[in-house]
Structure 1
Amino acid sequence: MVGLVVKPWHHVSVCGNYIEALQQGSTAPLTAANADEVFAPFVSKGYEAGVKADLGRIASTLAAFQITRPSAFVDPSTNVFGVDGDQRHRGLEFSVFGE
């Protein structure tokens, strides 16, 4: 994991981070031709960049993120469960909070 926070102005912070995580491999479902096969662990990767403005009694944040991990599914033509391609999740998050 690598992260960085910079305060270009007194009330504003800009941040970014990158993370790689090792996750447990998928297990083939009982309905697949290779039922109960356990796949090797995989690496997921995430990126995030954001900004926070703290104006005393009220503050807000805005962040953009992307998470990528291998995609597993049952191939309908062979009924074999396998990993092929990636899942990619992208989004924006905005929040306002205060007293």
Structure 2
Amino acid sequence: MPQIRPVSDLRNNFAEISKIVHESQEPVFLTKNGYGDMVVMSIKQYENIQQNQEIFMKLKESEHEADTSNERYSHSEVFNNLRMQIRNRPNK
């Protein structure tokens, strides 16, 4: 169930909201004058969303390429390429 709190709780109960977003790994929705105003989430949640969005965009790109090209790759070509990219990726 989503956590919905007044925006004043961010100032008055920051530690509690921080605890909620980190323990539940769910965002807290903040309202102002009864209307949605902003969302608070942990950095880990945000990074996961960004990563999922990047994967989605890459899949859409792949679908477009598959629709517009006759070039196809074997399973081993795809996975060898992925392994090479993972090995060459800079560490965080």
Q: TM-score, normalised by structure 2?
A: 0.21
- Return the structure number with greater helix share: 2
Which structure's relative contact order is higher, taking Cα pairs within 8 Å and 6+ residues apart? 1
- Return the structure number with greater strand share: 1
